[in-house]
C-alpha cells in the first residue's frame, strides 16, 4: 500500500494530468471534486469518467454552495469572455476568477486529508500559460501550506502537510506531453468554461483557446469535441 | 455608512459577543453561518435570533457538506464527551475538533468578503479558556491572513484583508462582562455541543461547562436553559 494523497480534480486537462502524475509517483489517490454552484456540471461527469479511467481509491464529490456568495462568471449569470488573445488574458484578473476558490477547495481537501491520514495534497495550479489568478501562484501555495500546518491537529502534532503543485512551472504543451506519456485519454476531459447543452466545448473561451494552443504546440492531435 | 465587516457567527456566546463588539466599532456587519452537517441545527436558529436581535446588514447561511468528510464528534455519530474537568480538556485535541473547520469557514468568509468589498473578517477564536484547537491560535490566524492576501484579487491588488480575533486573549468571564456591557441577551445564544430535542443545553459537555464557569466568575446570573 502506498502513501495516501488527496487530489483536487476538476475533470479538466491540468488536474487529470496531475492525477496521472500522482499515481505514477506511487501514491494511493483520493480524489475530490466540488459541486459548488458552477454554471454547468459537465465537469463533474468528466471528473467521474477520468477518475474511473485512471483508477482511484475514492472519488468524493463535495457540496459547497459558492453560488450564494456569487461574484464570478462561473457561478453567476454573467457572460464568459470569448475570443480573447493572450495579452488580454494576461492583462488582469478575469471575470471567471471565483473569489478565494482555491483557498476554499484546498481547505476542504485539507480537512478530508486529515481524516484520511493523508499528508500530501495535489492542486493543478499553473502560472506559465495563464498568470491571472492570484490563487495559482507559488507564493500562495506555500503560504497555504504554512497555514495548514499551524491550523490542523495533524500539522501541529505530526509530520505536517505538503501541498504539491507539480504543474506550476509547466507549459500547456509540456503538460499534454507528460499526460500522453502516462496514458491519459484527453477525450475524456473537459476544459471549457461554457460548454453546450450536450457538454461540447465552445472553443472560444480562455480555457478552450489555451487548450487548443497546447495541443498545437505539443504536436499532438486534439481529441476535444468542439460544438 | 460604515466599513463593511464579515462576522463568523455560530450563535454561541463567543461569536455573539464578537458581533456586538464589531458593531460597537462602527462596522456594517455581514454575518455568515454554516449548515455543515452538524449533529444539530439549533445553533443556526440561535444565530438567526441573535443576528435579528443585534441587527445586521445581511445574514448568510451557507451550505458546506463537512459531513461527507467526517472525522468529528460534531458531524459523525460519535458521543460528545461529558463531565470532563479542565485538565482533561487541556490535555489534548478533543474529538469535537472538526478537521480544518476554521480554515474552511474563514476561506468561505474570505470569498464572501471579497464579493461584498469587505476587508475585515471577525472570528471568535479564543485561546485562554480552551487551548485544544490548533485553528484558534494567534499563529494560525496571522498565517491565514498572510495566505489570504496572497490568494485573492483584493489581497494582491488592493488594501488587503485583516482577520480580527478580538476574543483571542479574553477569559470567558471577560467576554461575558463585555457582552453584557454591549447589551447582549445571552438567553438567545446556544453553546452546547449536544442539546436536547427542544434545544436545551446539556450542561455537561466541555462547551457548557466552560460557559457555566464563565457566568460564575463574571458574577452574572446564567440565563441558559439547561435540560
What's A4-172's CATH class? Answer: alpha beta
Mean pLDDT is highest, among A20-29, A187-196, B38-47, for A20-29
Nearest-by-CA chain A residue for B135: A151
pLDDT of residue A134: 87
Give the confidence band of B91 by pLDDT, cuts at 50, 70, 90. low
Q: Give Cα A112 distance to the centre of its chain.
A: 17
Interchain pair A140, B147: CB under 8 A: yes
pLDDT of residue B127: 83
Its ipTM equals: 0.90
pLDDT of residue B80: 79
Chain A residues contacting B, CB < 8 Å? 60, 62-66, 68-71, 93, 97-104, 107-108, 110-112, 114-115, 134-135, 137, 139-140, 143-144, 146-148, 150-153, 155-157
pTM over cut 0.90: yes
Locate B71 and state its grid cell: 472525522
The string of pLDDT tens digits covering residues A148-172 is 999 998 888 888 999 999 999 999 9
Interchain pair B147, A134: CB under 8 A: no
Q: What is the CATH number of domain B4-218?
A: 3.40.50.620
Q: Measured between CA atoms, how close is B32 to chain A, in angstroms?
A: 10
Interchain pair B64, A60: CB under 8 A: no
pLDDT of residue B88: 75
Segments of chain B assigned E as strands? 4-8, 28-35, 58-63, 120-122, 162-164
Would residue A219 be called left, alpha or beta, if left means φ above 0 and alpha means ψ between -120 and 50 degrees? left
Q: Measured between CA atoms, how close is B6 to chain A, in angstroms?
A: 12
> Strand, helix or coil at A142?
helix
Q: Measured between CA atoms, how close is B188 to chain A, in angstroms?
A: 26
The full set of domain ranges for chain A reads 4-172
Please name which of B194, B132, B181 lies closest in space to residue B17, comparing C-alpha atoms.
B181
The string of pLDDT tens digits covering residues A105-164 is 999 999 999 999 999 999 999 887 665 788 888 999 999 999 999 999 888 888 899 999
Amino acid at each position: 500500500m502506498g502513501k495516501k494523497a488527496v487530489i483536487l480534480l476538476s475533470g479538466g486537462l491540468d488536474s487529470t494530468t496531475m492525477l496521472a502524475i500522482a499515481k505514477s509517483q506511487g501514491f494511493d489517490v483520493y480524489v475530490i471534486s466540488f459541486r459548488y454552484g458552477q454554471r454547468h456540471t459537465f465537469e463533474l461527469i468528466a471528473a467521474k469518467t477520468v477518475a474511473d479511467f485512471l483508477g482511484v481509491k475514492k472519488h468524493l464529490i463535495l457540496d459547497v454552495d459558492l453560488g450564494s456568495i456569487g461574484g464570478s462568471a462561473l457561478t453567476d449569470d454573467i457572460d464568459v469572455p470569448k475570443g480573447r488573445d493572450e495579452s488580454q488574458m494576461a492583462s488582469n484578473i478575469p471575470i471567471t476568477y471565483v473569489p478565494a476558490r482555491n483557498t476554499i477547495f484546498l481547505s476542504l481537501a485539507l480537512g478530508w486529508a486529515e481524516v484520511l491520514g493523508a499528508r500530501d495534497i495535489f492542486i493543478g495550479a499553473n502560472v506559465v500559460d495563464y498568470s491571472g489568478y492570484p490563487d495559482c501562484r507559488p507564493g500562495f501555495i506555500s503560504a497555504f501550506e504554512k497555514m495548514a500546518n499551524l491550523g490542523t491537529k495533524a500539522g501541529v502534532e505530526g509530520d505536517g502537510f505538503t501541498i504539491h503543485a507539480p504543474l506550476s512551472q509547466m507549459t500547456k504543451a509540456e503538460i499534454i506531453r507528460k499526460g500522453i506519456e502516462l496514458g491519459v485519454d484527453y477525450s475524456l476531459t473537459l476544459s471549457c468554461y461554457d460548454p453546450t447543452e450536450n457538454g461540447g466545448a465552445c472553443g472560444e473561451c480562455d480555457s478552450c483557446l489555451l487548450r487548443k494552443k497546447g495541443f498545437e504546440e505539443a504536436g499532438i492531435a486534439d481529441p476535444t469535441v468542439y460544438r
